[in-house]
Chain A
């Protein structure tokens, strides 16, 4: 296997959610931390789509933000194309150009006072890739690449619908010629028929420009459609990583199984779904041991004390004590 494009090891992020100092002193309370991500490790190979799924509060977006440098991690390392990124110093500019991000809400991610041409050309200008006239031409060309027309450079974002705005956001992400794009819920603000257009477009662009995607989504069917490999997050921990479609036919971790069971599907299988027990616990005081144990059907004593480590499964890896019995040692 060749060198992975992005390698993440032991990535951890804690947020300080303590009350103000005075309250802590008066109420005799400790500082409180919310662990958004704990010890997350994965690799993304060049040209593949790696997806992270999980419910709200599982830390998907926090990972995305740390990867693009919008949020410094509390621990762990991020290695991009063999270069370790020193997170305290910020990401070097030369590296910065090579990854981009597409955000969830195309109504919030485009500056309403800028013309579309300026929005798309901004990364070109920032990185000093072209002169102003060429940048302007390039903006028009990129609009055509994403299925809009070159004449749209002079319009403002409000003149476009949600799906068209997301196309503009994609054009902007492409303008600095990145290799790696982090897509944080790129279609969850869109209607299904528009979602299909955007997902198809993202695939076409991947083929055309050889892009690598980190796709963040809560929608399992979108993830199944797009991803080569999938990581499942629960309460900030990666519980399972598996090859795309196999995750859906042969899930290993009990949480993955539960999640797949819960998704309503068009297939009309007529199955009576097992309703899932319980809800996600509070991330400020997660259960000890395996965070999933209060909801897990396979729970046994060890799960309550010991945090399970990821171990290889036939389709990837999973962090679960119950797998110990099944998998050969």
Chain B
């Protein structure tokens, strides 16, 4: 097996507050292989976006990385000095945010923004950078790119703006693109166009994608593997098809059942009782234990580690530890 492009180990992100320290991420570990699309799902507050921000070093103080390591091609990037990190951010890791209006500067034309970014990271002349920029806009599907490149962001519609942002994220040919809810602000008919562009263009250039979203439908159609976060902890990671059809973790099972689909026949949705605990009130043991109908003794005392009941799949649940289940037989 090839070496991972990005490797995150036991990542802890903490936010000190007046009432004590909140752990937004608690020992999260995962890998992204070169060229792979890893989906990152979870409900709001589960820590999806924080994971993305931690990787590119954009956690807002007073939040901080309090433990663990992040390695890009084997090289640690979580403890770099700001200027060293700036060279990686944009150059080796591109970023697409949710709202295209906030990631584009309204006072500069698209050309100025793209050329500036290209010339910051790649050594080339202005004319050459412009040529690259036009080619890139054309590739992300902006009609008449040659002419529209001199427009300002407000001249573009939401979908077109998000295409510009994708061009901006890809212009320095990064190895990894972190896309944080890239289509949440868009309508469904435009959403599918954007996902298509993002997926194709990254595949073409061999860039890996970390796709952060709460929309399981998008993940199902886009990602190779999916990581499920719950209350700042990794609940399950595995190939997307298997996680959706036969999830290992009870939380993932409930989550998949609670999503209405376009083909299901049942009249009632599966519902998980309660809601995700607040970060200052995470129960002892497994964070999911108050909502889990299969919880047994060890779940209330010991936090489950990621176990691998099947090759290529990981789940943090004691049900998959034969030693534990033998101790206390459940139903």
Contacts and interface: CB of A to CB of B under 8 A. Distances in A.
Interface of A: 55-56, 161, 163-164, 191-197, 199-200, 203, 218, 220-222, 224-225, 248, 258-268, 273, 275-276, 279-280
A279 B186 CA distance: 11
Contacts of A218: 187-188
A266 B244 CA distance: 7
A53 to B, nearest CB: 10
A261 B187 CA distance: 13
Interface string B193-233: 10110000000000000000011111011100000000000
Nearest to B190: A279
A193 B192 contact: no
A265 B262 contact: yes
A264 B217 contact: yes
B282 to A, nearest CB: 15
Contact of B188 (A55, A199, A203, A225): A55
Most buried by A among B221, B244, B260: B260
Given A200-B271, A259-B189, A191 B43 contact: yes
A203 B43 CA distance: 23
A273 B192 contact: yes
Contact of B217 (A194, A199, A224, A263): A263
A276 B192 contact: yes
B4 interface: no
Which A-B residue pairs are the 7 nearest by beta carbons?
A264-B217, A196-B258, A225-B260, A191-B43, A55-B187, A196-B269, A221-B260
B272 interface: yes
B255 interface: yes
B258 A192 contact: yes
Contact of A221 (B159, B190, B259): B259
B44 interface: yes
B260 A55 contact: no
Given A279-B157, A280-B189, 19 more contacts: A56-B187, A191-B43, A192-B43, A192-B259, A193-B271, A193-B272, A196-B257, A196-B260, A197-B272, A262-B188, A262-B189, A262-B192, A263-B188, A265-B217, A265-B221, A265-B261, A268-B245, A273-B196, A279-B187
Contact of B220 (A191, A259, A264): A264
B43 A193 contact: yes
B159 A266 contact: no
Contacts of B71: none
A258 B273 CA distance: 36
Contact of B275 (A161, A261, A262, A276): A161
Contacts of B276: 191
A266 B195 CA distance: 15
B124 interface: no
Given A221-B260, A264-B220, A268-B220, A280 B269 contact: no
Given A264-B220, A265-B262, A196 B270 contact: yes
25 contacts: A191-B276, A192-B214, A192-B259, A193-B271, A194-B43, A195-B258, A196-B258, A196-B260, A221-B217, A221-B261, A222-B260, A225-B260, A225-B269, A258-B189, A260-B262, A263-B217, A264-B217, A264-B222, A265-B220, A266-B216, A266-B217, A267-B263, A268-B240, A268-B245, A279-B157
A164 B270 CA distance: 18
Given A268-B241, A273-B192, A221 B262 contact: yes
B220 A266 contact: yes
B268 interface: yes
B258 A193 contact: yes
Interface of B: 43-44, 157, 159-160, 187-193, 195-196, 214-218, 220-222, 240-241, 244-245, 254-264, 267-273, 275-276
Contacts, number: 126
A266 B255 contact: no
Contacts of B244: 266, 268
Nearest to A263: B188
B255 A193 contact: yes
Contacts of A258: 189
A279 B196 contact: no
A199 B260 contact: yes
A220 B262 contact: yes
Nearest to A278: B189
Contact of B216 (A55, A192, A194, A273): A192
A263 B262 CA distance: 9
B270 to A, nearest CB: 7
Nearest to B251: A193
Contacts of A275: 192-193, 196
Contacts of B188: 55, 218, 220, 259, 262-263
Most buried by A among B188, B216, B254: B188
B262 A248 contact: yes
Nearest to B264: A225
Nearest to A58: B187
B229 to A, nearest CB: 12
A220 B191 CA distance: 14
A79 to B, nearest CB: 31
Contacts of B258: 192-193, 195-196
Contacts of B260: 196, 199, 221-222, 224-225
Nearest to B41: A192
A55 B275 contact: no
Nearest to B273: A197
Nearest to B159: A279
B214 A191 contact: yes
Nearest to A271: B221
B249 to A, nearest CB: 13
Contact of A193 (B195, B241, B275): B275
